[in-house]
Amino acid sequence: MQTADILDAIGGLSAQLKTYAAKLPPIVHLSAVPMGVKPKFEAIDEYEDIVTRIRTQSAGTAYKSLNESFVESLEAFEVGKLLGSVQPLLAVLDHVERMQRDKEIEVGRIDEKRIGEYRAALHKILPGNKPELDGAGRGM
Protein backbone atom coordinates (compact mmCIF):
# COMPACT_ATOMS: atom_id res chain seq x y z
CA MET A 1 0.00 0.00 0.00
CA GLN A 2 1.17 3.49 -0.82
CA THR A 3 0.04 7.03 -0.09
CA ALA A 4 -1.61 7.17 -3.51
CA ASP A 5 -3.94 4.34 -2.44
CA ILE A 6 -5.02 6.28 0.65
CA LEU A 7 -5.56 9.40 -1.46
CA ASP A 8 -7.55 7.43 -4.03
CA ALA A 9 -9.83 6.28 -1.22
CA ILE A 10 -10.22 9.81 0.12
CA GLY A 11 -11.00 11.00 -3.40
CA GLY A 12 -13.74 8.39 -3.76
CA LEU A 13 -15.19 9.15 -0.35
CA SER A 14 -15.04 12.90 -1.02
CA ALA A 15 -16.99 12.38 -4.24
CA GLN A 16 -19.67 10.49 -2.32
CA LEU A 17 -19.82 13.23 0.31
CA LYS A 18 -20.01 15.96 -2.31
CA THR A 19 -22.93 14.22 -4.04
CA TYR A 20 -24.70 13.75 -0.71
CA ALA A 21 -24.06 17.33 0.42
CA ALA A 22 -25.50 18.69 -2.83
CA LYS A 23 -28.82 16.98 -2.04
CA LEU A 24 -29.13 18.45 1.43
CA PRO A 25 -31.30 21.50 2.01
CA PRO A 26 -29.37 24.62 3.08
CA ILE A 27 -30.81 24.44 6.60
CA VAL A 28 -31.92 21.22 8.27
CA HIS A 29 -33.78 21.58 11.54
CA LEU A 30 -32.70 18.75 13.81
CA SER A 31 -36.17 18.42 15.32
CA ALA A 32 -37.64 17.57 11.93
CA VAL A 33 -34.99 15.70 9.98
CA PRO A 34 -36.79 14.05 7.08
CA MET A 35 -35.89 10.46 6.17
CA GLY A 36 -34.86 11.66 2.71
CA VAL A 37 -31.79 13.39 4.15
CA LYS A 38 -29.91 10.13 4.69
CA PRO A 39 -27.70 8.94 1.82
CA LYS A 40 -29.13 6.37 -0.56
CA PHE A 41 -28.34 2.71 0.12
CA GLU A 42 -26.27 2.53 -3.07
CA ALA A 43 -24.12 5.44 -1.92
CA ILE A 44 -23.64 3.83 1.48
CA ASP A 45 -22.63 0.55 -0.19
CA GLU A 46 -20.06 2.33 -2.37
CA TYR A 47 -18.69 4.22 0.64
CA GLU A 48 -18.46 0.98 2.62
CA ASP A 49 -16.72 -0.79 -0.29
CA ILE A 50 -14.02 1.90 -0.38
CA VAL A 51 -13.50 1.75 3.38
CA THR A 52 -13.39 -2.06 3.38
CA ARG A 53 -10.87 -2.10 0.54
CA ILE A 54 -8.58 0.39 2.28
CA ARG A 55 -8.81 -1.51 5.59
CA THR A 56 -7.90 -4.77 3.87
CA GLN A 57 -5.00 -3.27 1.94
CA SER A 58 -3.58 -1.37 4.91
CA ALA A 59 -3.33 -4.37 7.23
CA GLY A 60 0.27 -4.75 8.33
CA THR A 61 1.38 -1.41 6.85
CA ALA A 62 2.19 2.00 8.30
CA TYR A 63 -1.28 3.11 7.15
CA LYS A 64 -3.12 0.67 9.43
CA SER A 65 -3.53 3.40 12.05
CA LEU A 66 -5.80 5.31 9.65
CA ASN A 67 -8.49 2.60 9.64
CA GLU A 68 -10.31 3.92 12.68
CA SER A 69 -10.85 7.32 11.04
CA PHE A 70 -12.16 5.71 7.86
CA VAL A 71 -14.62 3.58 9.86
CA GLU A 72 -15.70 6.65 11.87
CA SER A 73 -16.40 8.49 8.62
CA LEU A 74 -18.40 5.54 7.27
CA GLU A 75 -20.51 5.26 10.42
CA ALA A 76 -21.34 8.97 10.28
CA PHE A 77 -22.16 8.76 6.56
CA GLU A 78 -24.53 5.83 7.11
CA VAL A 79 -26.73 7.93 9.40
CA GLY A 80 -26.45 11.12 7.36
CA LYS A 81 -24.05 13.11 9.54
CA LEU A 82 -22.13 15.16 7.00
CA LEU A 83 -19.85 16.92 9.48
CA GLY A 84 -19.07 13.63 11.21
CA SER A 85 -18.14 12.13 7.84
CA VAL A 86 -15.83 14.94 6.75
CA GLN A 87 -13.88 15.49 9.98
CA PRO A 88 -12.33 11.99 10.14
CA LEU A 89 -11.16 12.33 6.52
CA LEU A 90 -9.49 15.64 7.38
CA ALA A 91 -7.87 13.82 10.31
CA VAL A 92 -6.57 11.18 7.88
CA LEU A 93 -4.97 13.90 5.77
CA ASP A 94 -3.43 15.43 8.91
CA HIS A 95 -2.11 12.03 9.93
CA VAL A 96 -0.60 11.36 6.50
CA GLU A 97 1.17 14.73 6.63
CA ARG A 98 2.48 13.93 10.12
CA MET A 99 3.73 10.53 8.94
CA GLN A 100 5.51 12.25 6.07
CA ARG A 101 7.03 14.86 8.37
CA ASP A 102 8.21 12.12 10.76
CA LYS A 103 9.70 10.23 7.80
CA GLU A 104 7.46 7.19 8.41
CA ILE A 105 6.30 7.34 4.79
CA GLU A 106 7.40 9.03 1.59
CA VAL A 107 4.99 11.30 -0.22
CA GLY A 108 5.77 12.43 -3.74
CA ARG A 109 5.10 15.87 -5.16
CA ILE A 110 1.97 14.73 -6.97
CA ASP A 111 0.55 13.21 -3.79
CA GLU A 112 1.40 16.35 -1.80
CA LYS A 113 -0.65 18.33 -4.32
CA ARG A 114 -3.52 15.84 -4.05
CA ILE A 115 -3.51 16.17 -0.25
CA GLY A 116 -4.03 19.92 -0.61
CA GLU A 117 -6.73 19.47 -3.24
CA TYR A 118 -8.64 16.94 -1.16
CA ARG A 119 -8.34 19.10 1.96
CA ALA A 120 -9.81 22.05 0.02
CA ALA A 121 -12.59 19.86 -1.41
CA LEU A 122 -13.50 18.53 2.03
CA HIS A 123 -13.59 22.05 3.46
CA LYS A 124 -16.02 23.08 0.73
CA ILE A 125 -18.29 20.19 1.72
CA LEU A 126 -18.36 21.19 5.39
CA PRO A 127 -21.73 22.55 6.49
CA GLY A 128 -21.61 26.27 7.12
CA ASN A 129 -18.47 26.67 5.02
CA LYS A 130 -17.41 30.19 5.91
CA PRO A 131 -14.18 32.17 5.55
CA GLU A 132 -13.61 32.04 9.30
CA LEU A 133 -13.23 28.24 8.97
CA ASP A 134 -10.29 28.54 6.55
CA GLY A 135 -7.40 26.52 7.88
CA ALA A 136 -9.56 24.40 10.19
CA GLY A 137 -8.50 20.78 10.29
CA ARG A 138 -4.83 21.51 9.73
CA GLY A 139 -2.21 20.02 11.98
CA MET A 140 -2.63 17.63 14.84
What is the per-residue pLDDT across 30-44, written as a single tens digit (0 to 9) for each? 554 555 578 999 999
Alpha-carbon span 74 to 99, nearest angstrom: 23
> Is residue 29 pLDDT above 60, yes or no?
no
**pLDDT tier, 8 (very low <50, low <70, confident <90, very high otherwise):** very high
What is the per-residue pLDDT across 98-112, written as a single tens digit (0 to 9) for each? 999 999 998 999 999
**pLDDT tier, 132 (very low <50, low <70, confident <90, very high otherwise):** very low
Alpha-carbon span 89 to 126, nearest angstrom: 11
pLDDT, mean of residues 7-32? 81
> Is residue 47 pLDDT above 90, yes or no?
yes
> Is residue 136 pLDDT above 80, yes or no?
no
State which of 19-23, 24-28, 48-52, 127-131 shows the largest mean pLDDT: 48-52
Are the beta carbons of 57 and 101 closer than 8 angstroms? no
Q: Give the pLDDT confidence score for residue 38 in this predicted structure.
A: 86
What is the per-residue pLDDT across 53-82, written as a single tens digit (0 to 9) for each? 999 999 889 999 999 999 999 999 999 898
Domain boundaries, the chain: 3-25+35-133
Average pLDDT, the chain: 86
What is the per-residue pLDDT across 83-100, written as a single tens digit (0 to 9) for each? 899 999 999 999 999 999
